[in-house]
Structure 1
Amino acid sequence: MTLDKVVGSAQEAVADIPSGASLAVGGFGLCGIPMVLIEALLEAGVDGLSVVSNNCGVDDWGLGVLLAQQRIAKMTSSYVGENKEFERQYLSGELELELTPQGTLAEKLRAGGSGIAAFFTQTGVGTQVAEGGLPRRYHPDGSIAVASPVKPVQTFDAGGVSREFVLEEAISTDFSLVHALRGDRYGNLVFDKSARNFSPLAAMAGRVCIAQVEEIVEPGEIDPDAVHLPGIYVDRVVVVGPDIEKRIERRTVSPERAASREMPEGA
Structure 2
Amino acid sequence: MIDKQWQSAADAVADIPDGASLAVGGFGLSGNPIALIEALLAQGTKELSIVSNNCGVDDWGLGVLLGAQRIRKMTSSYVGENREFERQFLTGELELELTPQGTLAEKLRAGGAGIAAFYTQTGVGTQVAEGGLPRRYNADGSVAVASPAKDVRTFAVEGEAREFVLEEAITTDFALVHAALGDRHGNLIFNKAARNFNPLAAMSGRVCIAQVERLVEPGELDPDCVHLPGVYVHRIIEVGPDAPKRIERRTVAAKGS
Question: Under a length normalisation based on structure 1, what TM-score does the superposition of the two structures give?
Answer: 0.95
Aligned to 1:132: 131
Bigger radius of gyration, 1 or 2? Answer: 1
Q: Distance in 2 between matches of 1:23 and 1:195?
A: 18
Q: Distance in 2 between matches of 1:56 and 1:194?
A: 16
Aligned to 1:218: 217
Q: Distance in 1 between matches of 2:30 and 2:181?
A: 16
Q: Distance in 1 between matches of 2:5 and 2:254?
A: 44
CA RMSD of aligned residues (A): 0.8
| Correspondence 1:259 to 2:255 | yes
Opposite residue 59 of structure 1, the aligned amino acid is D
1:259 deviates by: 3.0
Opposite residue 76 of structure 2, the aligned amino acid is S
Secondary structure of residue in 1 paired with 2:144: strand
Residues 37-186 of structure 1 aligned to structure 2 (within 5 Å):
37-186=36-185
Residue deviations 1:171-216, cap 9 Å, x none? Answer: 0000000000000010000001111110000000000000000001
Identity across aligned pairs (percent)?
76
Q: Distance in 2 between matches of 1:249 and 1:33?
A: 12
Opposite residue 177 of structure 2, the aligned amino acid is V
Opposite residue 22 of structure 1, the aligned amino acid is S
* Unaligned 5+ runs, structure 1: 262-267
Q: Distance in 1 between matches of 2:227 and 2:255?
A: 40
Aligned to 1:236: 235
> How many correspondences in the alignment?
257
* Unaligned 5+ runs, structure 2: none
Aligned to 1:187: 186
1:112 deviates by: 0.3
Opposite residue 76 of structure 1, the aligned amino acid is T
Opposite residue 258 of structure 1, the aligned amino acid is A
1:243 deviates by: 0.6
Q: Distance in 1 between matches of 2:196 and 2:254?
A: 29
Secondary structure of residue in 2 paired with 1:258: coil
Secondary structure of residue in 2 paired with 1:154: strand
Q: Distance in 1 between matches of 2:129 and 2:157?
A: 19
Runs of 4+ in 1 over 6 A off after TM superposition: none
